[in-house]
């Protein structure tokens, strides 16, 4: 293991030196409550709204129930919950008793859920909030650097790994938003995306609560339902995926329904720049793309659609290594020095943690570059880079060229083995288009060696449970 990182062989987690609190916003969950008025509206869901004191009372009730059952002190608790206030309460109560939260999607298959359970080996699994209210004292709140939650990676190239995060790191998205965007008590943050995913829970409900604003639990995912929720609850910012943004545009949603929005945070999949700019112009709302990863556990750089690259968020030092990999660490100087922490490591996997934190920096596995203005350009996963006859090809570049063509609704580019060249470029395309016409169509924008040589036409791309394109499945389609 690397000498720069001290790792516990049992837990698989690195030893974290004492960190500095954020210069803005709360650094612990207890600080959230002290910065809100009791009567302020904390959460709006499909059934009712919750004031701050009502939400805190419920969090403490659940925490007492967990305490009475012996579920504190670092025990791992898995929760199978939906997109409602229960997901937020489960996280807050779990952290309050010093336990570690694990989210399980109520839409996942048994096989997908079991893969997480086999790795995490939780001490308890809940499919709802406990209903009892025992008379017990709560323990002292945990330290900011204590393990608080596990975010599971998507498993596109291997089994899912559990990235463990501290309580303070869970609040980093809020601190970054307050510092860079002036996010405050006027914010109403909504999302229809699955709250079983830790990053969505943090960027949505937790950020809304921690900045003093209101979390809006949105149920519908089709364009009309999303627009109705945005209008009804006067949402100021929403977390969406490109598919929903596309539907808002293509289904001619009334712009008046979106008038309270000041931005849309878009993530979860690649987004063709031309179409994103068109959507931004049509909707009249800034679209902000976030670059992040489960190990962060959310974004570390953001860009407004149309910018030349992504601007690093405060506290994060981004460096491009000699092989093109993006690596991360906390900045060494200024008010944010030592604030950003990144994951403690992968649960139960000290070797993977050592590789992740080699040399004391978090190795993302992503390829990228920094422009002259220090903005980040992400080219995709290093493991997805295609080496064709010694030339390195970024799938994202080819995908962007294909998405710019009429009729192409979605695309994924990947490499397939070739005896002579090592790999050749392949593309899976969704849309009303004849794939035989695509090769000549992109030759004006791509060098010949980048033009796909193998094609698949599909009704939809295969995705894993985290919403990422499953390239291994696509590769198997061509190799079979």
Q: What angle do CA 367, 370, 375 make, to 5 degrees?
A: 115
- For residues 463 and 444, what is the distance between their CA atoms, to the nearest angstrom? 30
345 belongs to a structural domain: yes
50 belongs to a structural domain: yes
11 belongs to a structural domain: no
> Would you tell me how many other CB atoms lie within 10 Å of the CB of residue 328?
20
> 3-class DSSP state for residue 409?
strand
Q: Which residues contact 327 (CB under 8 A, 6 or more apart)?
A: 318, 319, 320, 321, 361, 362, 363, 364
16 belongs to a structural domain: no
Task: Output the pLDDT for position 66.
Answer: 98
Task: Output the pLDDT for position 478.
Answer: 86
Residue written as token pair 């945070």: 265
471 belongs to a structural domain: yes
For residues 338 and 467, state if they share a domain: no
Last residue of a domain, one of 379, 409, 443: 379
Q: What angle do CA 336, 187, 216 make, to 5 degrees?
A: 115
Last residue of a domain, one of 379, 405, 440: 379
For residues 145 and 74, state if they share a domain: yes
Task: Output the pLDDT for position 466.
Answer: 59
And the tokens for 410?
Answer: 């979605």
pLDDT (tens digit, 0 to 9) for every residue of the chain, 480 residues total? 345 688 999 899 998 877 899 999 999 999 999 999 999 999 998 778 999 999 999 999 999 999 999 998 899 999 998 889 999 999 999 999 999 999 998 877 787 788 899 999 999 999 999 999 999 999 999 999 999 999 987 654 457 789 999 999 999 999 999 999 999 999 999 999 889 999 999 999 999 999 999 999 998 888 999 999 999 999 999 999 887 888 898 888 888 899 999 999 987 555 667 778 888 998 999 999 888 888 998 889 999 888 888 999 999 999 999 989 999 999 999 999 999 999 999 999 999 999 999 999 999 999 889 988 889 988 777 878 888 887 778 888 899 889 989 899 899 999 998 888 888 999 999 999 998 999 999 998 888 889 999 999 999 998 876 567 888 889 989 876
For residues 156 and 200, state if they share a domain: yes
- For residues 131 and 62, what is the distance between their CA atoms, to the nearest angstrom? 8
Report phi then psi at 400, rounded to 5: -65, -40
For residues 178 and 228, state if they share a domain: yes
Dihedral sign from CA coordinates of 412, 417, 422, 424: negative
331 belongs to a structural domain: yes
Residue written as token pair 């970024």: 394
For residues 372 and 453, state if they share a domain: no
Alpha helices in 97-216 (DSSP H): 110-120, 167-170, 172-181, 198-201, 207-210
For residues 369 and 394, state if they share a domain: no
DSSP, residue by residue, 369-394: EE-TT--EEEEEEGGG-EEETTEEE-
For residues 40 and 166, state if they share a domain: yes
Task: Output the pLDDT for position 384.
Answer: 81
For residues 67 and 215, state if they share a domain: yes
Task: Output the pLDDT for position 372.
Answer: 82
Domain with 453, as residue range(s), is 387-479
For residues 363 and 391, state if they share a domain: no
For residues 151 and 287, state if they share a domain: yes
Strands 147-152 and 162-166: antiparallel
Task: Output the pLDDT for position 270.
Answer: 55
- Residue 439 sits in a domain of what CATH number? 3.30.300.30
Task: Output the pLDDT for position 342.
Answer: 94
- Residue 72 sits in a domain of what CATH number? 3.40.50.12780
For residues 330 and 406, state if they share a domain: no
Last residue of a domain, one of 379, 403, 424: 379
> Number of folded domains in the chain?
2
For residues 338 and 421, state if they share a domain: no
2 belongs to a structural domain: no
- For residues 180 and 408, what is the distance between their CA atoms, to the nearest angstrom? 36
Q: What pTM value is reported for the model?
A: 0.85
14 belongs to a structural domain: no
């Amino acid at each position: 293991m690397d000498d720069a990182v001290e790792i516990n062989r049992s837990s698989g987690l690195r030893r974290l030196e004492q960190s500095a609190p954020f210069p803005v916003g709360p650094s612990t969950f207890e600080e959230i409550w002290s910065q809100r008025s009791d009567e302020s509206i904390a959460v709006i869901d499909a059934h009712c709204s919750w004031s701050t004191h009502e939400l805190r009372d419920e969090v403490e009730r659940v925490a007492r129930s967990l305490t009475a059952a012996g579920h504190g002190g670092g025990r791992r608790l898995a929760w199978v919950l939906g997109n409602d206030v229960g997901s937020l309460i489960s996280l807050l109560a779990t952290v309050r008793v010093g336990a570690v939260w694990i989210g399980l999607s109520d839409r996942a298959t048994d096989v997908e859920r079991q893969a997480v359970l086999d790795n995490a080996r939780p001490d308890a699994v809940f499919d709802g909030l406990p209903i009892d209210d025992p008379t017990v004292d709560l323990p002292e709140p945990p330290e900011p650097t204590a393990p608080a939650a596990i975010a599971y990676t998507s498993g596109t190239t291997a089994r899912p790994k559990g990235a463990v995060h501290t309580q303070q790191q869970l609040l980093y998205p809020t601190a970054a938003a307050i510092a860079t965007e002036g996010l405050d008590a006027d914010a109403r943050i909504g999302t229809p995306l699955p709250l079983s995913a830790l990053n969505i829970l943090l960027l949505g409900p937790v950020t809304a609560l921690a900045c003093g604003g209101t979390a809006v639990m949105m149920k519908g995912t089709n364009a009309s339902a999303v627009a109705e929720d945005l209008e009804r609850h006067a949402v100021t910012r929403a977390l969406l995926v490109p598919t929903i943004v596309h539907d808002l545009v293509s289904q001619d949603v009334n712009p008046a329904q979106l008038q309270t929005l000041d931005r849309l945070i878009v993530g979860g999949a690649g987004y063709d720049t031309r179409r994103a700019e068109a959507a931004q112009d049509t909707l009249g709302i800034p679209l902000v793309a976030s670059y992040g990863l489960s190990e962060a556990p959310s974004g570390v750089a953001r860009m407004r659609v149309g910018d030349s690259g992504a601007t690093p968020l405060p506290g994060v030092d981004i460096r491009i290594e000699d092989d093109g990999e993006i690596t991360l660490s906390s900045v060494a100087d200024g008010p944010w020095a030592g604030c950003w922490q990144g994951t403690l490591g992968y649960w139960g996997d000290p070797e993977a943690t050592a590789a992740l934190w080699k040399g004391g920096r978090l190795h993302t596995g992503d390829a990228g570059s920094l422009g002259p203005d220090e903005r980040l350009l992400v080219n995709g996963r290093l493991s997805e880079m295609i080496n064709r006859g010694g030339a390195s090809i970024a799938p994202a570049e080819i995908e962007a060229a294909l998405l710019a063509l009429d009729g192409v609704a979605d695309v994924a580019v990947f490499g397939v083995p070739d005896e002579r060249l090592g790999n050749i470029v392949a593309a899976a395309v969704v849309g009303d288009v004849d794939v035989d016409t695509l090769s000549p169509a992109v030759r004006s924008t791509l060098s010949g060696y980048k033009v796909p040589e193998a094609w698949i036409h599909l009704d939809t791309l295969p995705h894993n449970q985290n919403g990422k394109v499953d390239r291994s499945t696509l590769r198997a389609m061509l190799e079979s």
